[in-house]
């Protein structure tokens, strides 16, 4: 039990230039139709008990509502979080002010310790990859506990 957190890329299977929909494809002998609403969902980041990161997503993308709902995250918001992570890694004394830990049901440690800074470093690295990937148009955050 505990706080599990996911960023998921939603990638449409169709392009505006696709004139005729649905498109039929065959995989292992089974035929499928691709329609405008079909997407690929791919997990692009996973955290466990990174409660400061979770609270940032709740506040910035979920309107402060924390009900394990899926939250749309713009690339601009990802850039904001990336900037916070970079600032914290440049000066670890700013962590408490920039991205404070949050208590919650099995949310993990409230300390600004090695684990906290590993989560910040991981977050920085995955955000750089997501932001710079032109094939990821939509990103959603969701947590469960």
Average pLDDT over residues 17-41: 72
% of the chain at pLDDT higher than 90: 71
Predicted pLDDT of residue 38: 78
Phi then psi dihedrals of residue 46, to 5 deg: -145, 135
Helices marked H in 24-131: 51-61, 75-90, 95-98, 114-131
Predicted pLDDT of residue 19: 60
Q: Domain limits of the chain?
A: 4-13+39-144
pLDDT tens string 43-76 = 999 999 999 999 999 999 999 999 999 999 999 9
Average pLDDT over residues 113-133: 97
Predicted pLDDT of residue 12: 82
Predicted pLDDT of residue 27: 66
d(CA 128, CA 83) in angstroms, rounded, equals 10
Peptide bond into 22 cis (omega under 30): yes
Residue 114's nearest CA partner among 86, 89, 97, 82 is 89
pLDDT tens string 106-118 = 788 999 999 999 9
**pTM for the whole structure:** 0.86
Residue 18 predicted with pLDDT over 60: no
Predicted pLDDT of residue 2: 85
Residue 50's nearest CA partner among 92, 97, 113, 93 is 113
């Amino acid at each position: 039990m505990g706080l599990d957190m996911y960023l998921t890329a939603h990638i449409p299977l169709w392009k505006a230039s696709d004139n005729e929909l649905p498109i039929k494809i065959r995989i292992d002998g089974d035929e499928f139709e691709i329609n405008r609403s079909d997407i690929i969902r791919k997990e692009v980041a996973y955290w466990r008990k990174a409660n400061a990161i979770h609270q940032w997503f709740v506040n910035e993308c979920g309107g402060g509502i924390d009900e394990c709902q899926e939250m749309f995250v713009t690339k601009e918001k990802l850039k904001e979080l990336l900037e916070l992570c970079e600032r914290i890694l440049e000066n670890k004394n700013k962590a408490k002010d920039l991205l404070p830990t949050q208590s919650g049901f099995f949310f993990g440690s409230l300390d600004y310790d090695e684990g906290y800074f590993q989560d910040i470093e991981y977050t920085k690295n995955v955000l750089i990859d997501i932001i710079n990937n032109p094939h990821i148009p939509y990103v959603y955050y969701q947590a469960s506990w």
